[in-house]
Chain A
Amino acid sequence: MACLMTLRSTPYGLQAAKESLDVTLVLAAFEQSPGILFIDDGVLQLLPPSHLPSSYKHIGKILCALEMYDIHQLWVEQQSLEQFGLLATDLSQTVTVIDRSKVASLYTQYDQHLVF
């Protein structure tokens, strides 16, 4: 039962980004092989910690744990990256960039979806 997590939340100010990654790790621990699609403000979660004021507790450590939890399916929507003037090489994780027109077919590859 594979679940695609669609993460749309900014990492700033809200708990939502951390909470969505917590769910992702737990799903992985239960061997449900979750994938993650970063879209809209969610792409900002992938910025390296150096882009943030040090007073923020950054979610970077959780992102580093993704690989340890065997979460390798990381997708980033192309248009969301462009909206922030980012390139895939700016991001802290190795991701697959996917065009908006391909998102619908990505969704069909998963049994369940959680949107945060």
Chain B
Amino acid sequence: MAGFLYMPNLTTVKPSAPNTGSLTYTIVVRCGADQQSQALSAFCFTKELLLQGHQVIRVFFYQQGVYLASGLKVMPQDETNLTTLWQQLSIDHDLELGVCIAAALQAGVVDQQEANRYELRGDNLAARFTLVGLGQLAAASAECDRLVSFGG
């Protein structure tokens, strides 16, 4: 957390301000919970976009970012569970959370369908997240005004 001085309020939901110059964004999250300040920045940036009335076509989780889609994390009481924050943001703003399926499978993040396909013991993809192909990143990047990537 070194260097992360400004701690915004993570839970309040302000009504969207009318925004005439609104843009469409695609967000790429490539950092996991072990890079807390970067991963937190991705969340805060996305949340602020939505609160300011911009559109986010899709948040795409790739590389280490796929770990944020695991629903089997328990954080110490004084630490932030980014997975639940993303879930709530997704519910509040009908935000699409896409997770790269190839990276997720290698990281042990699977939904029920993949768990059945590979005969795994269980599934752990958190609610509101969906496993998608890299094509969903390409499609969103073609469609958006701004592509913003976090981590790496």
Contact = CB atoms under 8 A, between A and B. Distances in A.
Interface of A: 1, 3, 15-16, 19, 22-23, 26-27, 29-30, 32, 112-116
A32 B103 contact: no
Interface stretch (B6-14, B16-24, B81-89, B130-138): B130-138
Nearest to A31: B142
B63 A15 contact: yes
B142 A115 contact: no
Contacts of B62: 19, 23
Interface residues of A: mostly helix, strand, loop or mixed? mixed
B147 A30 contact: no
B138 A19 contact: no
B103 A19 contact: yes
A1 B142 contact: yes
B122 interface: no
A32 B147 CA distance: 14
Contacts of B133: 26
B149 A30 contact: no
Interface size class of B (residues with CB under 8 A): 10 to 19
A26 B103 CA distance: 15
B147 A112 contact: yes
A3 B141 contact: yes
A28 to B, nearest CB: 9
B59 interface: no
B40 interface: no
Contacts of B147: 3, 112-114
Interface in B18-64: 28, 62-63
Nearest to A9: B152
A115 B152 contact: yes
A32 B141 contact: yes
Interface string B122-150: 00000000000111011101100001010
B36 to A, nearest CB: 20
B152 A116 contact: yes
22 contacts: A15-B103, A15-B106, A16-B63, A16-B152, A19-B62, A19-B63, A19-B103, A22-B134, A23-B62, A23-B134, A23-B137, A26-B133, A26-B135, A27-B141, A30-B139, A32-B138, A112-B147, A113-B147, A114-B28, A114-B149, A115-B152, A116-B152
